[in-house]
Every structure is written in C-alpha cells, then in structure tokens.
Structure 1
C-alpha cells in the first residue's frame, strides 16, 4: 500500500513538471482539458466556450496545475501563451458579454456570475485580493459597471472586472508604426500572444489577424509584480459569458509555455470555423437553382400559402379572459411591429440587463415611443406580473418616464414607454466628446429626480421602491428635464405595510450596506442610491471606478475623505470649470454624503431631501465621527 502511494505521488510530481508546456493545433482528441458550463468540443475540433444560452458562463482549463513559482516566497516564473480565437455574435451591432484568458487558483468557477462578470467574479468577491486571478479580457460590449472604454476592447484584469489597463482592439503595423483597428466580433480568426517577463515584471498582450506575423510592438504593456497575485500552482484556461445577447466564442488552437520560447501553432492545421448563415444560403441557392427553375409555379403557390400562415403567426398574441380588465393598457403586437419597422437593428436604442429597447412611431397617432422586449420569467405568475405593470402605468409625474402599456406573446412581455429624445444622463456625464452639462442644468435635473422619488415613496396610492437609481436610469426629455426610468426592478406595497424579503438586485456602488444582511429593500435603501447619484452628477465620476493605483475607489468614501480635510469642493467635476454656484454645489455634495450614510436611520426621507434642495430647511451639519468605515462596524 505504501509503495502504491509513493508511486502515485511520484507520477503526479512528474506529470506537473512535465506539463509546463502544451500545444493544441485544434482540439480533436484533445486530452487534459477540463470543461464546464457552456463549454464544449465540436466534432470539427473547435473549442466552443458558449452556445445560444443566455446569462450563462463557460469555462475550459488545462486539467493539470502549472508551477508558476519555485516556492511560495519566490517571484513568478516567466510564461507565455498564444492562441487563435474567433467571435461570431448573434447581432452584428451587439456583442456578447466577452471572454478571457485566465490564470486561476482553481478550475471551479461555478460561483462566478455571467454577463459583465465574465464568468470570473460575482457581486461579493469582485475586486477582492483573495481571488488570485489574472485575466486578459476580449470584450465586445460596453458595461458601465466595468468602466469599459468601448464595445470592442482588450483589457488586463487583476482580481476585478475593472481592467488595470484597457485599449480598443488593434495591432501596430511594423511597416508604418500606426495602430490598425481590429473588430473582435468580425467572425474572422485573430491570433493573440500573452507574455510575462518574470525578471522585468512586464506583461505584454499582442494581437494580429491570422496569418500575419506577430507585431513587434504589443497593444498592452503593463509593469506589474504578479508575486502577490499568482500562487505557486495555478490553472490556465478560458472563461466566457453570455448576457441578454450572446456570441459564439471559438478557440481554434492554443499553445502555452513556462519559462522558455513558446511553441508556435501550426496555423494550417487549425480547424475551420462553421459556415456562416450568409455563405450557407449562397451555396445552397447555387446548388438548388435548377430544381427551383423547373418547379417555380408550385413553389410560388406554396410560398403564398406560407406567407399567409407566417403573417398570422408573426402577429399572434396571448390574451386571456382576465386581461379584459387591462384592455385599455394593451397594445397589439401588429401595431408595435409596424412602429419599430419589424424590430430592426437600425431602430435599436440599446441592450440592457432586462431587454432590448427599440425606437418606434405609433402608426395612427405618430407618437414616438420606446419599446422594450423582455423575457417573462416572473415567479409570481403572469396575471400578478401584468397587474403590477398596469399599476405602474398609472404613475403620473413630470419627472417619471411614463409606462404607456404592454403586449404579451408566449414567454415574452413587451413594454411601451414615452420616448426621451436626449437619451440618458450618464452619456452626458461620462462619454468622451459629448457636450457637458452646466451646473444649472445639473441642479435642475437633481431636483426633478428628487421630486419624482418623493412621489413614488409618499405621494402615490402605493409605495414604489425603484431599486436601481443611477445616472444611466435618468433620461432627458426634449427640454432636458430629468425623468427617472426603468421600473423593471421596482417593487410596490401598501402604505404602512412592511416590505418583503427579496433577492438583492441592482448595481454595485448604489446598494445600501444593510441589504447584504436583511435582503429587504426600503425607501431608505432608495435614498442611499440617490445619494450616490447626487455625487455622480456633482463629481462627474462613477460610483465605483479605478484610482491612479488601479484599485477600486468608492465615490462616497472619496468625497467623505475630502470633506474631512475641508476640501469637499475640490471633488467637483473638472468639466464645470468655475461656472457654478458654490452654495448649491456644497449642498449637493454634503447631501450626497448624508443620503449615503451606512446607517439607514441616519438617512433623510425624500421629503426632507426635497426641502433641503429647495432651500426650505437647512441641511444638518455632518459630524466628524460619522466616518463611513466606522459606521460599517455597527451594521
């Protein structure tokens, strides 16, 4: 028995030391690969990280751990990898959530969330040093939560979905030294080289189209000591994620080497990508052209019958007897189909966590609307869900985007809203090149959103908790009035009743700290988010973003630190210049801290907030001992 154990231990040691490099020119008969989630191997030898499933991750790892340090106290050994990938999106204009090359202490990432978390992290561990994760992301969607530079970028991520360094996808030409753009989601193969110099502590990421020699200059070059990030033994592989829109992520070949020259891939041996729908249709048309010519009259007759059937199916709806009570709030699918020109991509306003939003014009009235298509998976039942939507449709306030009605088809719910021509507030605050807002406009928007929230909390028939207040959910009408929108997460309950425990949803940086403990959203948790929103508008910064050291900086704590030093005005948005009212700016910054207090009992109500903003009541002084970190200990 002792001899068997010794032999097994010796085998593992030899296996770990022998497998410090490997090469896959395609994945036919691939050994030592560990797959989970959506990841799978195709019969053609492709490694597929995702499929048509939405909101799900996929992982593929080399099965054996590799030795990145000689001992726990040593520096990280040099390593390099190259692989060829291709991304084929569901929609040409919208990519999936992205994929990464990842080095992880474990192959088990089942705890990780999909969507913009890339199948690497979740809401609680994102940014934590105990993750010990190094990843290079290839992302074709722009997530505000991840502070993405655009919807076609490459980034180096260390323990967080917020990249330490990120640039639009490109390669530098050796001929003229100019950057040439690369479209990650073009469906064409792209080769990547990722190299770490253990002595110089330099991490380089280089891209180029397939068959082009490796460029001399890297796209990303980051000086970083990985000794505290990578452990002695780590796993290497890929992680991918789908969101509301999905993409196929293919790996055609992969080579890895510890401490030495990386084995080159045999590009001519790589498996071909699946035939695209367009090319398939062309080749099929050529192969059946003659039979079609001989039977054209029969096919024309069949096509007419089919057209009638498809037209009926296209505009089919679900409508039950109980919906008679909601008839005045219901739109026909045919009307919405015509309003959006068949939900064409050119009328797509955006893709969010809960659906695609299209711009439309109602045929009869010529009224512009925003039409949101979402999958309906409500646990409370269709009838209760529609009743709640119709109740929200009765909201009437000048600072709320009005929900005009709904339509229902099978598992799909379609919501119709007022159209806001000036888009979202965050595009004015954070988008490069877009005209900024002066202080007068910002202060007007703030007071408008506060008025809308007061209506939701106290002045309507029921209490409405919005649960997702942030600049991206504030839309601007033609007169630049702020309108609170997106009630997809809203909860209703009667005045005087206690809110129910529910899943914690929302956006990191706007979630009140007590939600982790109680899971109960209240008007006070809305006030906390409103406080973070105030600081977003006044400072021109996101609720969480990377500081100069590449670490996550919480906006509330950053402003609080400046207030304690007596320099709170220095946190203002630099784009404001000197054109602002000092008293108003000072009020908004301090009110943001007041609303974002860690203790719910210390936050004001929205009625008090509007009184402060209107100058009816002076803002109470902040006390020096009310430090956010100190107060967190009381929760």
Structure 2
C-alpha cells in the first residue's frame, strides 16, 4: 500500500481569508465604474442615484480564472458573499432592482436601464453567446420576463428570464420561511455558492444580524455552469432605475475561487444605510433656517460660558471611569504626552495600526523615549483593544514583553504609553527594502527563543493564563541590543488556571490562525502554539506562511517544507543566505519544531514549556517526527476525531518530560 498523501490545511486557511476580510468592514476590491455607479465617502458603493431611467455598473478591474487549470473545460467551485441595501424614493414602491454578475467583459456595453437591470438590452437578451450568469434582486414585476412578483431573487443565465426564482426571504433554524423586503433600506447579506463536484448553485438571502447563514438555501439550481463560463471572467454588480427613483448600495463584498463554504460572521460595527434623499418644501426650508440660526446662537452662548468657566478654574478635574479604577496603571496627563510627541506631529509618527496611530516621544525633563498609541474612545473595537492592553500587559513584567508604562484619557481619545523600541518591528528586517541587509541566523534564533520565553510566561508562569491571539512578526519589536519583545495585546484573552476558555468571536491574522479556532471560535494556548509554529517557520525561511501568487507547491510554507523534507533536503525551503551560515543543526531543529507546533491536530502540539526545553537542547524531538506530522493531515480526517487522537497517543517516541497536551501552569 502506498503511503497516505500529505494534505495541507489549505481549505481551512482560505476560509479564514473571507472571515477576516469582512470583519474589517469592506472588501479591498477596486472597482471600475460605468454609468451612475460610484463609491461615496461613507464606504458604500452606490450603483444608482436619484436620476430616473439610468443604470450603473461596478466591476472588478482584473478578471478571475473560473476554469480549472487541470481541465479548461471544467468550471471551478466558487463562493461569493456581499452586503446590499435598496433605498426607494417611495416607501412601498421601487422601480427596478440589481444583480451580481459574472461576465466575459469588464462592464457590459450596450446595456439598457429599467427592466434590463443594466445587464442586457432588447437585442442580446436570451442569447447563448452572452456567457453571462447573474443573480438578480428584483423589486419590480416584469411580466415579459415571467417575474413571479415585485420582491424576488432569481438565477439568470444569458438572459432576464430566471431559470429559478423565489420570493425574497430565508429559512430559519426550524425550517420556517421568513419574508424579507428588498426595499426596507436595511443591510442584507446574499451568499452565492457553486459546487462543481455537485454541479449545484445555491443562493441564500439573510438579514445582516444573522451571524451564521441559514442551513437551507433560498434557491438551489442543479446545473453544470462550465458551458457558460469562459477561462477568465469579470465579476461585479449592476442596477437600474425606471420611473421611480431607487438607490442601490453594495458594502463589504468578497469572492473566493476553488472552495465552497458557509462562513460565520461577527460584525461589531455596521454602517447605517443612508435614506433616499427627500426634497424639502419651501416652508420646510424656512423652518430649518430658523432652527439652524437659533442653534448657532445657543452654541455660541454655550461656548462663551464654557471658555469663561475654563479660564476661571484653569484646570478641569477628569472623573475616573470604572475601568480606570479596576485596571489603571500609571496615568499620564495629556499635557505631558503633547509635549513629548511635539504636538503629535506627523514627523513623530511611527506607524498606523488597526485602531489608531503610534507616535514617538521623549518625556519632558528626561531622556526617556516612549511610544504613544492613540485610539478613539468612541470606537467599540478600539475601546476593547484599549481595555485588553491595560488589563493584561499593564500588570505584566517580563524582559521579553513590551512594557506598558501607563495610559491617558483625553476627550474622545485614549492613549497607551510603551517603552520605545529603536529597531521597530521584526517584519521590516525579515522583508527589508532593497539594499538593506537581512538579519543573521544567530539573531533570528535569539529572537525565536525570546518570543518563546514570553509565551511560556503568559501560558504557564503568571497567575492567570493569557492567550495572545495575534503572534506575528509585526507584533514582535526589537530593542537596541537586538532583544525581541512581544507586544500588541489588543486581542488578548485571560482565564483562570485550570479553566477552559469560552467560545468567542474569531480574531487573529490570516495565515496564523489554527483551524479549530475557525470552527469553534475558542482561543486556547494551543492556538497560540500553532501561530508560534508558523512564526518560527517564517523567521527561519524568510517568507510569509501563505504566498497566493507563488507556484502551487510553494503557496503554503508548511507544505513546501514537508515536500523538501520528503523529496530532497528540508533546508531547501530556507533562504539561501541563511543556509550558507552553516547552522544546519539549529535550522533543522527550528523547521521541524515549527511544523510540529503548527500541527493540524491540537493534541499533537507541544506546550510552550516543552518548546523552551527543545530550543534549549534539554529535550530532543522524536525520531519518527515525519510520521507524526502526517497524522491528521489525511484527506477526510477531522482534526478532532478520536481516530487521530488515538494514533497520536500511540507514538511512543512522542513523549517528552511534560506531555504535549499539558496546558496552563
């Protein structure tokens, strides 16, 4: 019997890409606009405006490969998810709808507005040469196309007569159908999933507040789409208006080729859909002018009174919030930070993070250099990150952790003050600019041991277990003596020793998240170990864990290393300059330990206490490590199946001084 084929976690990691991209509120897609379509200042893509009898198209600028590279005649599976809203001029009546479109051209020339939705015209509608697939969200009943009603979803192929349609709505968890109004001026989510193996197209509509898609789709079409798809196709959206004005919005969309899945979403901040603009009457305008004038007068009086009181008292004492009493380390005054950063000038800016900016500063009266992170107090996510930082790192003291010196609260802004790290983050040394030298292997190995020491402290040595949840080079800072310090605890979670962490929302960085975290939403010390394993491989090889544009065998770093290990030499995966430094033993150790830490089966991963001993040379890796790494990577095996765990437990040479499954102190 031939040995089982090693299968990577590619599909799980691709699912992560969609989850993270939508959790940042918008796709990174760059559209080409035609007609009335444009992107407004609030981040919405508007396909139409208040004009009548117009259409708008928004298409991605680059085509996508919809045919398998192995067989040009076979379409690939794909998944599309996007949010949309329709705001009509009249509350209970819209003119025409919109559609998600797969087309052979970027935009559709010669399309008509009104009932043609900006997709077809009266001459090409229904022609087999179109090669157009669309999912329509129609708010007008057109008898000439056999529409079922004025509030429906349809699947269209090469024309506007739907091959399958249904009234707009969804099936709840009990299987009951719930109606949805497409012109409710609220965000909704549409999911289009095509499975090439099943030759099935499924369309699901759901309210935006539903985290998990309905199990039962609204529409299901059993048909092979290969004859209608070319090798490369463009994707986009189109909408039209008729005699009644309607604005069609798109927000936060994503497409993935080659996979089919139903992701779980958690969106903390949803945009408010702008209502359809109403024309004010002359009397309304007069009332507004009077009210505005009175408001301005009141504002001026209030401002004058406020200035008077400020000058009189000179200093306003800020009231402590509840979280400051519970978590607060040293509190800095805003005046200190303003002087330290020279008024938060742009030249002091060190970088921008997910929730704010980081500035360099020098404390007044001293030579102490600091880094100041500024966060919006009004941001729910920013406030969550702020509290996570001061409730964890604010009380920690370890040489391999970035030290939080204190905080400041001023008006609507929050500030975190850290020790300044002169050499910045590790990623700029792993991927330097042209002409800049790479860091040596000795420096890299020292950095790995420093970060491992920090995680060992967080997982095993503090009074509570701290899960970092975002281990990556960008969050590892380098001081003047080239010591590494782990920072950015904005996603960190704490729980008591001996207790299991509770399920939470999926958080982390694409490429570093363990597969079970996506499935269960439960972050553990094991998910930190998984991320650290990929971090080790990235530092050793000098490349990202995932490189989508690389050759197929090199897309996933873990697969590349395993392939080199089995076929040639494991060091073939390492940067050539590092191989020349003749540290073969250490290089092999880091690569093998990194793959073990990034094992798909959580029970097979070592605890950080074991990782420390292996890096220090106290404990050896098992001789049959390659066989162990294959366990759980076979096609069709679940990461949590009893069969996998039994095989892992039977590997006698896997036993170390401390069991790999040990977690906590």
TM-score by length of 2: 0.52
The structural deviation recorded for 1:315 is 8.7
Give 1:629's match in structure 2, choosing from 618, 627, 633: 633
> What are the equivalent positions in structure 2 for 1:381-530 lying under 5 Å apart?
386=387, 389-433=390-434, 434-530=436-532
In structure 2, the CA distance between the partners of 1:397 and 1:582, relative to structure 1 (3 Å rule), is same
In structure 2, the CA distance between the partners of 1:68 and 1:321, relative to structure 1 (3 Å rule), is closer
> What are the equivalent positions in structure 2 for 1:610-629 lying under 5 Å apart?
610-621=612-623, 622-624=625-627, 626-627=629-630, 629=633
Where structure 1 has 5 or more consecutive residues not aligned to the other structure, the ranges are 1-20, 50-55, 70-75, 82-102, 109-118, 133-224, 244-301
The structural deviation recorded for 1:502 is 0.9
The structural deviation recorded for 1:516 is 1.8
Q: Residue deviations 1:212-259, cap 9 Å, x none?
A: xxxxxxxxxxxxx9824538x96369978799xxxxxxxxxxxxxxxx
> What are the equivalent positions in structure 2 for 1:148-297 lying under 5 Å apart?
227-230=230-233, 235=237
My pick for the range that moved more, 553-562 or 463-472, is 553-562
Do 1:106 and 1:235's aligned partners in 2 also have CA atoms closer than 8 Å? no
The structural deviation recorded for 1:494 is 1.6
In structure 2, the CA distance between the partners of 1:459 and 1:80, relative to structure 1 (3 Å rule), is same
Distance in 1, matches of 2:409 and 2:310, equals 20
2:44 corresponds to: 38
1:353 corresponds to: 354
Do 1:421 and 1:476's aligned partners in 2 also have CA atoms closer than 8 Å? yes
2:538 corresponds to: 536
Q: Residue deviations 1:115-154, cap 9 Å, x none?
A: xxxx9x99x99xx999x9xxxxxxxxxxxxxxxxxxxxxx
Distance in 2, matches of 1:478 and 1:493, equals 34
Q: How many pairs does the alignment contain?
A: 414
Distance in 2, matches of 1:77 and 1:328, equals 59
Do 2:102 and 2:134's aligned partners in 1 also have CA atoms closer than 8 Å? no
1:344 aligns with 2:345: yes
Distance in 2, matches of 1:311 and 1:578, equals 71
1:576 corresponds to: 578
| SS of aligned partner of 1:415 | strand
Distance in 1, matches of 2:40 and 2:321, equals 48
Where structure 2 has 5 or more consecutive residues not aligned to the other structure, the ranges are 1-31, 59-81, 87-95, 110-131, 138-186, 202-227, 240-248, 254-266, 268-302, 640-665
In structure 2, the CA distance between the partners of 1:530 and 1:312, relative to structure 1 (3 Å rule), is farther
2:587 corresponds to: 585
| SS of aligned partner of 2:629 | coil
Distance in 2, matches of 1:551 and 1:565, equals 13
The structural deviation recorded for 1:365 is 2.7
Do 2:329 and 2:405's aligned partners in 1 also have CA atoms closer than 8 Å? no
The structural deviation recorded for 1:303 is 11
My pick for the range that moved more, 543-552 or 378-387, is 378-387
1:363 corresponds to: 364
Distance in 1, matches of 2:304 and 2:512, equals 54
In structure 2, the CA distance between the partners of 1:385 and 1:338, relative to structure 1 (3 Å rule), is closer
The structural deviation recorded for 1:609 is 0.4
The structural deviation recorded for 1:338 is 1.6
1:553 corresponds to: 555
Q: Residue deviations 1:418-442, cap 9 Å, x none?
A: 1100011111111332320111111
In structure 2, the CA distance between the partners of 1:340 and 1:552, relative to structure 1 (3 Å rule), is farther
| SS of aligned partner of 1:623 | helix
| SS of aligned partner of 1:500 | coil
In structure 2, the CA distance between the partners of 1:474 and 1:59, relative to structure 1 (3 Å rule), is farther
Q: Runs ≥4 in structure 1, deviation > 4 angstroms?
A: 32-37, 40-45, 56-60, 62-69, 77-81, 103-108, 236-243, 302-318, 324-328, 376-388, 549-552
In structure 2, the CA distance between the partners of 1:407 and 1:585, relative to structure 1 (3 Å rule), is same
In structure 2, the CA distance between the partners of 1:65 and 1:329, relative to structure 1 (3 Å rule), is closer
1:564 corresponds to: 566
Q: Residue deviations 1:490-511, cap 9 Å, x none?
A: 1111211221211110011110
| SS of aligned partner of 2:455 | helix
Do 1:425 and 1:474's aligned partners in 2 also have CA atoms closer than 8 Å? yes
Do 1:38 and 1:59's aligned partners in 2 also have CA atoms closer than 8 Å? no
| SS of aligned partner of 1:499 | coil
Distance in 2, matches of 1:78 and 1:390, equals 50
Do 2:384 and 2:490's aligned partners in 1 also have CA atoms closer than 8 Å? no
In structure 2, the CA distance between the partners of 1:310 and 1:540, relative to structure 1 (3 Å rule), is farther
| SS of aligned partner of 1:421 | coil
TM-score by length of 1: 0.55
1:218 corresponds to: none
The structural deviation recorded for 1:581 is 0.6
In structure 2, the CA distance between the partners of 1:444 and 1:106, relative to structure 1 (3 Å rule), is farther
In structure 2, the CA distance between the partners of 1:319 and 1:422, relative to structure 1 (3 Å rule), is same
Do 2:538 and 2:544's aligned partners in 1 also have CA atoms closer than 8 Å? yes
Do 1:58 and 1:240's aligned partners in 2 also have CA atoms closer than 8 Å? yes
